[in-house]
Amino acid sequence: MASKPENSRPVEAHGTLCLDTPGGRSLNLVAEGDTLRLELPGWSDSRSLLPRSLRGRARAVRFVADQLATHELALSLETDGRPVVRLGHDTPPSWLARLLGLGSINLRLSALRLLFSR
């Protein structure tokens, strides 16, 4: 009989990954242990990395949050050095994320532009 799969597979990450947006900007994803940080220079560049539809964006956010939680990692999206979205492991859902049905995501009001703007 096959063993039951583990619910989590802890990962520790260190380093920097450069992501190029379709708009030509470079974003740096910095990994420090169990936390990944992505500094967002502007909402338009960030939206260009997401699916075009609202349903697709919500599905992508839930998928990333679930995958991060599986590996006990958390992702913090930041602007001007302040977190606006946090998702993944040990992230309590904000009232706004619960209202939108996004699951274990800490979402600030300012991040609504990321999800709803085109």
pLDDT at residue 3, rounded to an integer = 47
pLDDT at residue 95, rounded to an integer = 86
Tens-place pLDDT, residues 37-61: 988 876 666 666 666 777 887 788 8
pTM (two decimals):
0.76
Tens-place pLDDT, residues 58-104: 788 888 888 888 888 999 988 777 888 899 888 888 888 888 777 77
In a domain? residue 6: no
Q: Is the pLDDT at 1 greater than 70, yes or no?
A: no
In a domain? residue 2: no
At 40 the three-state DSSP class reads: coil
Residue-range definition of the domain harbouring residue 105: 13-116
Q: Is 28 exposed, middle or buried (0-12, 13-18, 19+ CB in 10 A)?
A: exposed
Q: Is 71 exposed, middle or buried (0-12, 13-18, 19+ CB in 10 A)?
A: middle
pLDDT at residue 53, rounded to an integer = 76
From the CA atom positions of the chain, what is the Rg in Å? Answer: 15
Tens-place pLDDT, residues 5-31: 466 678 788 999 998 877 788 888 999
